[in-house]
Structure 1
Amino acid sequence: MDTIFALASARGRAGVAVIRISGPLAWDVVRDLSGTLPEPRLASLRLLRDGAEVLDQALVLCFAAGASFTGEQVAEFHLHGSTATVAAVLRVLGDRPGLRMAEAGEFTRRALENGCLDLAQVEGLSDLIEAETEAQRRQAMRVLSGAVGARAEGWRRQLIRAAALIEATIDFADEDVPVDVTPEVTALLDAVTADLRAEAEGAKVSERIRDGFEVAIVGLPNAGKSTLLNALAGREAAITSEHAGTTRDVIEVRMDLAGLPVTILDTAGLRETEDAVEAIGVERALTRARAADLRVFLISDDGLPDGLAPLPDDIVLRGKADAGGGVSGKTGAGVADLIARVSAILETRAAGAAVVTRERHRLAILRAVTALESARAEVLNGADRAELAAEDMRHAIRALDSLVGRVDVEHLLGEIFASFCIGK
């Protein structure tokens, strides 16, 4: 296998830059550039030399195969973070036979292939790198720590037990089996199925934490929506005007509310119009508002807009509080209370998040549920259907195995690792 290397820290000038090397020649590189090999996991200050030329004074770390991130021999050079220093060391490494620059996500892919991470943990690592809010960080850390794999292994054990009981009745079909296994098998199937259904439902919330909740500000034209958006954003994100119909398209502002990623949508005023461009804006506003996780209705003396009714959790307020009550982006009245209400509603929803976090996870779980429902029906249909029940259980186990990358995931790996940086 090739030995790979890459800059593992951000590009550009910095106090420290980290170059990571992984593969069978990693420690040889350390010996050649620094003279001696440090004790594994012990940072040592060394001069790095290319022949007679001193490249840098750096901290050098070595990790043994089986005790590193990739599972291979790994070395790290913690350099002074100038672009010239980094370029010089990368040039020297690139000139060595047997070494090559890593591809995007290749370090993590090797960790997967060497059994150091399962596929769900790889996805958790990707999410952690991309995390912008505290909720995203916590969720990503939970997945990276192996929570998905632990749950999947628990379900798998129960299903293997159920399948073993059923297959015992097949193996001894010509003999008297003294114990009816049906009650224990159905109890196991029911318990796993209930867990899986709850996870599938909670996965929708987990995915919103990953991708962000959407909150749409809706109302009639000139209700103060754009002014409120600007107040929430703390900048002039939207053009405001006393002329109705100024907002033609959906304007988005990304925010962190109580640690949750939230996109606030300023939508076109909802009204009947003969202006073709405004009509497109109104239609887009309705589409995005209906799909949003939460809507804030700004009302005036003319009431609520037609074509969109508030749902139970939606917030209805009088707009332009400077004209009397409600919320005002212009004066700031009621804005803090609105943020608190939105945060409280979304925090309550986020509490229902599952361990699984992606649509891929949810679909695998739903495949397992379908197989288990079929298995239960076959079990109840009698001993002559036992082989079909056992096969359904194997399908369910296979679906759960795909969660952590044991089966059926090779076609996903390119897409997953393409999102990683070169040094990860």
Structure 2
Amino acid sequence: MTDDTIFAPSTAPGRAGVAVIRISGAQAGAALRALAGDPLPAPRRAVLRRIGDPASGGAIDHGLLLWFPGPRSFTGEDLGELQLHGGRAVIAAALEALAALPGLRPAEAGEFTRRAFDNGKLDLSAVEGLADLIDAETEAQRRQALRQMEGGLARRTGDWAARLTRVLAHFEAAIDFVEEELPEDLGEAALAEAEAVAGEIAAALDDRHRGERLREGLSAVILGAPNAGKSSLLNALARRDVAIVSETAGTTRDIVEVHLDLGGYPVTLADTAGLRALEKADDPQAAIERAGMARARERAERADIKLLLVDLEAALSDETALDGVAALHDTRSLVLLNKADLCEAAAVQDLARQIGDWDPIAVSARTGAGLDQVLDRLVELAGESFGGAEAAAGITRHRHRRALEDCRDAVARARSAELPELVAEELRLSLRALGRVSGRVDVEDLLDIVFADFCIGK
């Protein structure tokens, strides 16, 4: 199938000003000539041409034609691009004309990038960086993805692999040239270098999973009693109506989520069911509400940040209203005193002083008072959680972490091995593990998973 010439739109479906159709493979040049005539444009130069249907001779559109002869193209093959007007009928006519040409077929999902990998234009970690760049929703995610796509992680692992290869070469020499007079401390010096590499890998692994968390985003959850204003707070922070707001207790049963961009950091904020004691154990509605509260507590256990919302009116009239917050409070918590607009300022300040250890923020989800301070604190917390994730090309996927752990462990086994042959074997295993990061070795079982996440045309 890799001998086929493939084509697909590289822009999203739907009405747009411009649509790009890519063609890659041995017949790409012939396809461009069939639709736009001779001659092919100069490499990497855009020319305006009439695009026609070879079968009928009728015009399809007027658009730009680009030609990227291999290997200096994205896929490493001959590659052409048609930049047409983005109407559905225009795109459909162009794709139908291409499909009628001999040797051409529509591309499968991720096939352009798969060919770039197969032809050595991208390593596997760069492929994953490209996928992350397409999916990036915030500035921090974009920077991390671009750094990986440009080879940051591959260069880091490549340096480790080069150093371990030199160490392995020393032991191979000791095995193959046993009769030669080699330095007595050759093995010890080589293993010291291997240990240095293992130490650097261990330091990279000790990153609190910042790279993976930046890809996925932080998880924040709003917790509190019924009618504390959780749904109103979610709507206010999202700046749109996401959750239903009602004075009836127990309105929120399922978890409602919204994705936020806080200072360039991705955060998923969840509204949850109100937490309270239920009197009627056999009431069907109570059973539903209990299920919602169980989900809220489970989500709170997994959350990176907990927004503990206090109803100021209830807290000022009943000291036990703070008991629920006290039970949930920990180092991941941010305490918010809601409905400050309905209470006397002096009373609010007095309560804030009493619970000063919690460092609370007085807010009004209805008027927006105090929400800027909340957002500033959330940005600060997100920055602390992701601190260091952007300083260097880091680990962004579980498979990277597993490969580096395997490499580190193999070096440790090499250090304790008694025979040079066993040391060499463990070093070979360590190099094989590093190779899995960039896709140099042992990757066939990974490729379908990696490329299946790509869209058609990329």
**TM-score surpassing 0.5?**
yes
SS at the partner of 1:97? coil
Alignment of 1:319 onto 2:355: no
Cα deviation, 1:158-190, whole Å, max 9, x if unaligned, reads 111222223333334456543313542343223
Q: Aligned in 2, Cα 1:395/1:203: closer, same or farther, shift over 3 Å? A: farther
TM-score, normalised with respect to structure 1: 0.93
Post-superposition offset of 1:270: 2.7
* Aligned length in residues: 419
Residue 324 (structure 2) aligned to one of 296, 301, 305: 305
Q: 1:111-260 residue pairs with structure 2 within 5 A? A: 111-173=116-178, 177-202=182-207, 204-260=209-265
Contact 2:116 2:122 in 1 (8 A): yes
Report the residue type matching 1:375 in the other structure.
A
Residue 373 (structure 1) aligned to one of 399, 403, 412: 412
Partner of 1:363: 402
TM-score, normalised with respect to structure 2: 0.86
Between the aligned partners of 2:201 and 2:153, the Cα distance in structure 1 is: 12
Report the residue type matching 2:402 in the other structure.
L
Residue 381 (structure 2) aligned to one of 335, 345, 348: 345
Post-superposition offset of 1:399: 0.7
Between the aligned partners of 1:307 and 1:374, the Cα distance in structure 2 is: 48
Alignment of 1:41 onto 2:44: yes
Cα deviation, 1:217-236, whole Å, max 9, x if unaligned, reads 12233332222112111223
Cα deviation, 1:56-102, whole Å, max 9, x if unaligned, reads 22211100111000000011111122222222211111111111111
Partner of 1:381: none
Post-superposition offset of 1:203: 7.0
Q: 1:12-161 residue pairs with structure 2 within 5 A? A: 12-35=14-37, 36-51=39-54, 52-161=57-166
Q: Aligned in 2, Cα 1:195/1:129: closer, same or farther, shift over 3 Å? A: same
Q: RMSD in angstroms over aligned alpha carbons?
A: 2.0
SS at the partner of 1:305? helix
Post-superposition offset of 1:129: 1.0
Partner of 1:333: 369
Contact 1:272 1:279 in 2 (8 A): no
Deviates most, 244-253 or 397-406: 244-253
Contact 2:7 2:104 in 1 (8 A): yes
SS at the partner of 2:308? strand
Between the aligned partners of 1:304 and 1:174, the Cα distance in structure 2 is: 78
Contact 1:249 1:267 in 2 (8 A): yes
Post-superposition offset of 1:361: 0.9
For structure 2, the residue ranges without an aligned partner over 5 or more in a row are 350-361
Alignment of 1:7 onto 2:43: no
Partner of 1:388: 422
Q: Aligned in 2, Cα 1:222/1:318: closer, same or farther, shift over 3 Å? A: same
Report the residue type matching 2:302 in the other structure.
A
Q: Aligned in 2, Cα 1:277/1:101: closer, same or farther, shift over 3 Å? A: same
Between the aligned partners of 2:14 and 2:254, the Cα distance in structure 1 is: 37
Post-superposition offset of 1:295: 1.1
Contact 1:59 1:77 in 2 (8 A): yes
Contact 1:270 1:306 in 2 (8 A): no
Post-superposition offset of 1:30: 1.9
Q: Aligned in 2, Cα 1:64/1:203: closer, same or farther, shift over 3 Å? A: farther
Alignment of 1:290 onto 2:301: yes
Contact 1:215 1:265 in 2 (8 A): yes
Post-superposition offset of 1:283: 1.5
Contact 1:142 1:355 in 2 (8 A): no
Post-superposition offset of 1:367: 1.3
Between the aligned partners of 1:30 and 1:196, the Cα distance in structure 2 is: 48
Q: Aligned in 2, Cα 1:97/1:240: closer, same or farther, shift over 3 Å? A: same
Report the residue type matching 1:136 in the other structure.
Q
Between the aligned partners of 2:90 and 2:378, the Cα distance in structure 1 is: 48
Identity among equivalent positions (%) equals: 48
Report the residue type matching 1:118 in the other structure.
D
Between the aligned partners of 1:414 and 1:148, the Cα distance in structure 2 is: 21
